[in-house]
């Protein structure tokens, strides 16, 4: 420590109050106070700062309330009895309790503890179950919306196809009169003869000459288009349960195509060119009716229109 002066005298005063100054420092302090007697008062103030020891009699009055009872006032026997009704006893504890139960008071204690087991009152019911239940409304709405959309789309598409078909089959666009008109014009000949009547007699005669076909011997033949059997030129038996073409989606581009007739050979009869357009018309109207000459009536015939290929055997 440096010699005492006006800048460090407080530290000397504090050490003096605590009794930490040696004899030399005490002598220096005494000389300093003789030079500065006005500071003696400060030294007395430092001496008054000494703390008194805390009396041991002062205690916390609430100490007992803080103490926790580790055993929560249960005796060992009570622990065993409660453990018995809780089914938590080990074998050794069960054995010990069994011995204790020879005492009627312990038995009575066990019976009382058994009565502490709560019984559920099932008459108390929650009355708002229906409010809690959920339903898949969103899924129903989705399914219904999808079904309605599909129905509308199908209806619209079907209507569009029918209108296009009707438009294309209109009388002004067809090269031949309709079957209805033909029937009116020559009702006694029926549909078979209508084929022959579709062109003028001159045209018909010309075509017969060209094709060298007999005109008298005609045999009624009737076929219906079956799109499921239209992929080859094979002879196919006619099926009575064929789907009508009116239910099919007909690409309007088909109407612009020409009917291709399978060339006549041993297997197939020839079909007059005159009938090509008639065949086309009849294909689109679902029914094709025409006649075969006698010498070819044992043969089949075949033709195609666009994606449809059709053959028929007279057998």
Partner 1 sequence: MQFLFVRQKEAQKMTTSEYNQSVDLFSDKVFRFIIKNVRDKELANDIVQESYMRLWEQVDNIEMQKAKSWLFSTSYRYMIDLLRRDKRKGDMNEVNKLYMAHNNQYNDINEVLNHALNRLPQVQKSVVMLRDYEGYSYEEIAEITKLTASQVKVYIFRARKTLKDYLVSMETVL
Query: Which residues form the interface with partner 1 (CB under 8 A)?
Result: 72-74, 78-79, 82, 85-86, 88, 112-113, 115-129, 131-136
Residue placing its CB nearer to partner 1 in the complex, 79 or 192: 79
Burial 253-272 (b: 16+ CB within 10 A, else e): eebeeebebbeeeeebbbbb
C-beta of 105: minimal distance to partner 1 in Å? 12
C-beta of 95: minimal distance to partner 1 in Å? 21
Q: Output the six-digit token pair for 286.
A: 């679902």
The string of DSSP letters for 176-202 reads S--HHHHHHHSGGGHHHHHHHHSS-HH
Residue placing its CB nearer to partner 1 in the complex, 125 or 253: 125
Contact 284, 250 (CB under 8 A): yes
C-beta of 116: minimal distance to partner 1 in Å? 4
Cα separation, 150 vs 148, in Å, equals 5
C-beta of 119: minimal distance to partner 1 in Å? 6
C-beta of 71: minimal distance to partner 1 in Å? 10
Residue placing its CB nearer to partner 1 in the complex, 64 or 119: 119
Sequence-distant (≥ 6) Cβ neighbours of residue 248 within 8 angstroms: 227
C-beta of 103: minimal distance to partner 1 in Å? 17
Residue placing its CB nearer to partner 1 in the complex, 24 or 117: 117
Kindly tell me the number of DSSP H helices and DSSP E strands found in the chain.
13, 5
Q: How many CB atoms lie within 10 A of CB 200?
A: 9
Cα separation, 217 vs 145, in Å, equals 60
Residue placing its CB nearer to partner 1 in the complex, 54 or 67: 67
Instruction: Please give the DSSP secondary-structure letter assigned to residue 50.
Output: P
Cα separation, 69 vs 306, in Å, equals 101
C-beta of 64: minimal distance to partner 1 in Å? 20
Task: Give Cα 281 to chain centroid, integer Å.
Answer: 48
Residue placing its CB nearer to partner 1 in the complex, 56 or 116: 116
Residue placing its CB nearer to partner 1 in the complex, 64 or 129: 129
Contact 232, 173 (CB under 8 A): no
């Amino acid at each position: 420590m440096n010699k005492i002066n006006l800048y460090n005298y407080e530290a000397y005063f504090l050490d003096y109050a605590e009794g930490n100054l040696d004899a030399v420092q005490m002598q220096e302090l005494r000389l300093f106070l003789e030079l500065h007697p006005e500071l003696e008062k400060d030294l007395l103030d430092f001496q008054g700062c000494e703390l008194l020891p805390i009396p041991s009699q002062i205690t916390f009055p609430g100490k007992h309330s803080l103490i926790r009872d580790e055993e929560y006032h249960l005796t060992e026997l009570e622990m065993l009895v409660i453990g018995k009704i809780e089914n938590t006893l080990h074998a050794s504890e069960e054995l010990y309790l069994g011995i204790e139960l020879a005492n009627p008071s312990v038995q009575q204690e066990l019976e009382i503890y058994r009565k502490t087991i709560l019984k559920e009152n099932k008459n108390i019911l929650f009355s708002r179950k229906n409010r809690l239940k959920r339903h898949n409304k969103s899924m129903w709405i989705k399914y219904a919306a999808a079904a309605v959309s599909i129905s509308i789309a199908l209806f619209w598409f079907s209507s569009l196809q029918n209108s296009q078909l009707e438009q294309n089959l209109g009388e002004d666009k067809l090269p031949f009169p309709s079957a209805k008109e033909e029937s009116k014009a020559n009702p006694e000949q029926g549909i078979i003869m209508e084929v022959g009547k579709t062109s003028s007699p001159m045209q018909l005669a010309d075509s017969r000459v060209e094709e060298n076909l007999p005109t008298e011997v005609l045999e009624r033949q009737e076929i219906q288009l079956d799109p499921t059997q239209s992929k080859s030129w094979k002879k196919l038996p006619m099926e009575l349960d064929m789907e009508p073409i009116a239910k099919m989606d007909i690409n309007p581009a088909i109407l612009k195509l020409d009917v291709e007739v399978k060339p006549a050979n041993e297997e197939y009869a020839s079909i007059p060119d005159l009938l090509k357009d008639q065949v086309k018309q009849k294909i689109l109207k679902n029914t094709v009716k025409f006649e075969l000459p006698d010498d070819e009536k044992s043969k089949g015939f075949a033709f195609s229109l666009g994606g449809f290929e059709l053959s028929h055997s007279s057998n």
